[in-house]
């Protein structure tokens, strides 16, 4: 092999018999390069996970040692016992990490939700008997409808969170056809179901739920994420009546995997422009449910279709801030707009911009100054109306977290202990598998057991590399 000019120039430091090899893939078979790239990515991921796990393990040990060192009242014997317990816990977790979880490790109790891309089941882990909610997503649908960024964002937020305000993720795994998220089961249903049942809340009840939502959104922002999809369906109720945020498929943070053209498609479809890709989750790509808001009867029609809209790919833009549609830049203040729209619905009975069609809703949100109005037959306190107007307003004038907490509407709220006080509504549960707060009778017939899938496309699996997760501390959130 003849050396190149550049090689000749640098060969003065090399022995006379030094041989140069040109790096080229010429002559390889068509699938050799993709397979080599696949192997490279898998190896890089394997060692990254191993190194990250070792760093996390060391961090936990150092934190415990530091904490014990600062406790002068604890005996040395007890300190050593705690260190030994951590060591045993780490060993157990290492064994858990090496154990491959699959569908056979869970038994379906009941299907409690069904959406455009999968379903949610109440399941029991066969070896421990603990109860979880299992979210199942079809890989093919995720790829076909450009949902990779969304599903990765949700997994990452849940995996990184240890907050009491965010639904806890215990495991995530996959097989050739499906992705699985094993999360804590929150038996109280969601805020949408409560609004459908009760129509409106009193200001005291609204104050409680909105205050908890403020703290939940603050927790998400503190993690470096923006939720972007705050709405009543994504606010879940736990066994004590307190709220937790879920469904982080549209959240965005400092992760390149979370980038998506979702809102451009939403905007295109609202304007009747057919996007090159199929409808994304919660996009307003039509079969819009046509409504008109000229009377109470017609508002009731919107309410009757509310749940169908939530379960479909049509989705609802009712709670999305205008700057997201306009796409001229936005920050975490867009979540506070959504909270203002939810507060309006809690007190009035429907969102502030609901309309005949998703296109009209979009137009009203963008031109919110001309359309935000409080009905004459609903009497709100000055504080409640003022807070809504300070949340549903332009970006530069919208209240931030510190201003929200001191707003007169929240007078008397103790932000530090609100999660420990009695909630206005506590689910009455007959058992740990009670699903009476979920509208399971509205679900279409689905198999009682999730079906295991056969071998799939290796390239498709590569797109979901790194999705698998196991939480170190298996907390008491699982029943």
DSSP 10-70: TGGGS-TT--------TT--TTHHHHHHHHHHHHHHHHHHHHHHHHHHHHHHHHHHHHHHT
Instruction: Judge contact between 339 and 217, C-beta under 8 A.
Output: yes
Instruction: Judge contact between 247 and 319, C-beta under 8 A.
Output: no
Residue 292: name the closest of 230, 347, 341, 350 by CA. Answer: 350
Residue 174: name the closest of 149, 151, 144, 146 by CA. Answer: 151
Using CA atoms, how far apart are residues 30 and 50, in angstroms rounded to an integer?
32
Instruction: Judge contact between 359 and 288, C-beta under 8 A.
Output: yes
Tokens 């009476």 identify what position?
A: 436
Residue 160: name the closest of 56, 281, 64, 240 by CA. Answer: 56
Using CA atoms, how far apart are residues 46 and 458, in angstroms rounded to an integer?
17
Tokens 């060391």 identify what position?
A: 58
Given the residues 146, 156, 190, 229, select the one marked as catalytic: 229
229 a catalytic residue? yes
Q: What is the b/e burial string over 132-168, where b = at least 16 CB atoms within 10 angstroms of the residue's CB?
A: bbbbbbbbebbeebbbbbbbbbbbbbbebbebebbbb
Annotated binding-site residue? 135: yes
Query: Torsion angle of alpha carbons 40, 46, 51, 53, nearest 10°?
Result: 160
Residues tagged in the binding site annotation: 135
Q: Could you tell me which residues are annotated as the binding site for ATP? A: 135
* Residues catalogued as catalytic: 229
């Amino acid at each position: 092999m003849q050396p190149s000019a550049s090689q000749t120039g640098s060969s003065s430091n090399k022995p006379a018999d030094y041989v140069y090899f040109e790096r080229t893939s010429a002559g390889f078979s068509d699938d050799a390069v993709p397979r080599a790239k696949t192997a490279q990515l898998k190896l890089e991921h394997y060692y990254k996970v191993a190194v990250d796990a070792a760093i996390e393990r060391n961090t936990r040990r150092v934190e415990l040692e530091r904490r014990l060192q600062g406790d002068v009242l604890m005996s040395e014997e007890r300190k050593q016992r705690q260190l030994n317990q951590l060591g045993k816990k780490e060993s157990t977790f290492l064994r858990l990490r090496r154990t491959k979880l699959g569908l056979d490790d869970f038994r379906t109790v009941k299907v409690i939700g069904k959406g455009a891309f999968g379903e949610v089941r109440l399941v029991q882990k066969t070896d421990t008997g603990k109860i979880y909610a299992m979210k199942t997503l079809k890989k093919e649908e995720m790829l076909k409808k450009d949902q990779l960024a969304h599903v990765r964002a949700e997994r990452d937020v849940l995996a990184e969170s240890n907050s009491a305000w965010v639904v806890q993720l215990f495991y995530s795994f996959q097989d050739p056809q499906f992705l699985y998220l094993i999360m804590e089961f929150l038996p109280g249903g969601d805020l949408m179901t409560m609004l459908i049942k009760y129509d409106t809340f009193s200001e005291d009840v609204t104050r409680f739920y909105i205050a908890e939502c403020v703290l939940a959104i603050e927790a998400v922002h503190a993690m470096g994420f923006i939720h972007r999809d705050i709405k009543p369906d994504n606010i879940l109720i736990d066994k004590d009546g307190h709220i937790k945020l879920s469904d982080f498929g549209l959240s965005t943070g400092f992760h390149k995997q979370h980038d998506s053209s979702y809102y451009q498609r939403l905007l295109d479809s609202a304007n009747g422009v057919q996007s090159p890709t199929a409808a994304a989750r919660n996009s307003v790509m039509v079969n819009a449910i046509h409504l008109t808001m000229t009377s109470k009867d017609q508002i009731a029609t919107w309410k009757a279709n509310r749940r169908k809209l939530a379960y479909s790919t049509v989705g609802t833009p009712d709670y999305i801030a205008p700057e997201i549609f306009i796409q001229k830049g936005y920050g975490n203040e867009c979540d506070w707009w959504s909270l203002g729209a939810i507060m309006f619905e809690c007190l009035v009975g429907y969102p502030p911009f609901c309309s005949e069609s998703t296109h009209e809703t979009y137009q009203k949100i963008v031109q919110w100054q001309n359309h935000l109005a409080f009905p004459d037959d609903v009497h709100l306190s000055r504080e409640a109306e003022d807070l809504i107007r300070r949340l549903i307003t332009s970006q530069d004038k919208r209240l931030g977290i510190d201003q929200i907490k001191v707003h007169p509407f929240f007078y008397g709220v103790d932000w530090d202990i609100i999660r420990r006080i009695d909630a206005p509504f506590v689910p009455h549960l007959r058992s740990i598998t009670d699903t009476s707060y979920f509208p399971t009778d509205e679900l279409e017939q689905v198999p009682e057991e999730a079906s295991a899938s056969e071998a799939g496309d290796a390239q498709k699996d590569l797109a979901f590399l790194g999705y698998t997760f196991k939480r170190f501390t298996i907390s008491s959130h699982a029943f």
